[in-house]
A and B are shown apart, each in its own frame.
Chain A
């Protein structure tokens, strides 16, 4: 298990490094960006810039300073919000996004697995067919289509819920955003767990369990559940990436002051440092989360946990 962990860690580090490297060069090369000096500047200003960004030194030294800054959490000043650094903005927006994201993930896992497993147990029934069709809807209909429709139904036609706004995290303000974020993931997880369960139920070891006269419920929960859920756990990595991507649109539509919305505003206003900072931040975040998911999977699979030797 330890060996597995270190191998994964070793794989993560170069990835993070590459993300930072790519972001470094993108900022330098962007037309109209902070390093686009098309007008000749007054010597004092140029000297200031040289000192601050070490422009007189070779590229790899500049990169070294850049790397050091990033590792210390300094992404530079924001372009649009002159009084704030990117780090401060991230610190403001991220907690909000995390709350929404975690809730959506939990909802998706619970509902998705339950639906998928039930559909598999009652394969080819009307319920199964319904689950497959609705999950197809969840996957096909984009969240930016679903959100306005949900708002239309629940906030405008039937005024159950507020149409938007964060309201300091009030419960009714969270419902629609969380549901919108969760829907595509519920669909994917339902499909994955259904497929997985069907395959597990066909396995020889399940037949052995039945042949021993064990009760069906026991077989489903103690023999079948774990192998069924392993692929779902593997999916957590892409699921997290999907929720983060979805948050961009969901926060925008519902007016939630999360990191996704800052990102969009930054993109529309050409706030290079903010956009860059968010990408690097989220990139590293996702890599670390994937590492955790990998570890979880490794712990659950006895062959990995106990470091399988060939028998």
Chain B
């Protein structure tokens, strides 16, 4: 089965005052139609940068190499007009903090309808009608009146619903959700996650769900990619990941998550801290923190190996 979206050997580097930063190194990821793919990692693992890179939303000091295949085209080679069309109608992204991700000076109605009016050439009245309908779908009460309000007049949870509405209104094939619930209260989190689940089937979405929270992964995703220091280190189906994690980092994440939810007595965490992604690297990035490391791990960078459904980049399984 061919992938809907295929990230092929993508690397992203930033040139900064203090030298080059390698945010993403040789990432290979596939998204299949109709699935929810979780992308898990700590901050600095490159997950957000990779997604931004796919849509060419990175700042000028970023260099992206590799290919991103969607609909038989390499997205990274598209010109302004074509990539805008993809962003508008095919691949939508929602972000972490809904307060700062919505324009405080524009009414919600405008922010919802502008893509419809500009890109899909729908007239104002029809666009407004669609906007109200989608707001009702994401359960904003009194939508017909509130569509004319400003973002600050909504609560955090409602703003995130508006962001979701803004994305779904364009009827995309792929939705990239970058930690959509991290900035919200726990109770609101649950509502938003439930909403996403219900909408997924109705809108026939394929979702890439970025998070650092393993419990969310367990509740939402079909397959998971684990990223560390800018690279995918394990890729597996949900069950395989949770019941038979292969990469030591994944095992560490799961152990920490279990201890946090009170399933064990002691609080477990992975020793050390995430690496700084500068300079040339030899060997496995996780080496300094790995409790199962071998000598070869220090010298040779591991590559992804494994079966069709579960792969890992680790010398333990070579």
Contacts and interface: CB of A to CB of B under 8 A. Distances in A.
Task: Consider the complex of A and B and state whether they touch directly, i.e. have CB atoms less than 8 Å apart.
Answer: yes
Interface of A: 203-205, 207-216, 218, 222-223, 226-227, 301-303, 306, 308, 311
Contacts of A209: 103
Contact of B87 (A211, A222, A301): A211
Given A208-B95, A302-B152, A203 B114 contact: no
A203 B101 CA distance: 8
Contact of B155 (A211, A212, A311): A311
A220 to B, nearest CB: 13
B100 A204 contact: yes
A205 B118 contact: no
Contacts of A227: 104-105
Looking at chain A's contact residues, the main secondary structure is helix
A279 B140 CA distance: 57
Given A207-B95, A302-B150, A214 B100 contact: no
A210 to B, nearest CB: 6
Contacts, number: 76
A302 B103 CA distance: 11
Interface residues of B, number: 33
B104 A213 contact: no
B127 to A, nearest CB: 13
B129 to A, nearest CB: 19
B317 interface: no
A135 B240 CA distance: 62
A213 B78 CA distance: 13
B55 interface: yes
Interface string B152-174: 11110000000100100010000
Contacts of A210: 57, 87
Interface in B82-138: 83-89, 92-93, 95, 97, 100-106, 114-115, 118-119
B152 A311 contact: yes
A211 B150 contact: no
Contacts of B87: 210-213
Given A204-B97, A223-B106, A213 B88 contact: yes
Of all A-B residue pairs in the complex, the 5 with the closest CB atoms, nearest first, are A213-B88, A213-B87, A213-B84, A204-B100, A205-B103
Interface centre among B55, B100, B105, B166 (most CB of A within 10 A): B105
Nearest to A201: B59
A212 B166 contact: yes
Contacts of A204: 95, 97, 100-101
Given A205-B101, A213-B83, 18 more contacts: A203-B100, A204-B95, A205-B104, A208-B95, A208-B102, A211-B57, A211-B87, A212-B87, A212-B88, A212-B115, A212-B170, A213-B85, A213-B87, A214-B119, A215-B118, A216-B80, A303-B104, A303-B150
Interface centre among A213, A218, A223 (most CB of B within 10 A): A213
Interface string B52-69: 000101000000000000
Interface centre among A209, A212, A223, A306 (most CB of B within 10 A): A212
Contacts of A308: 152
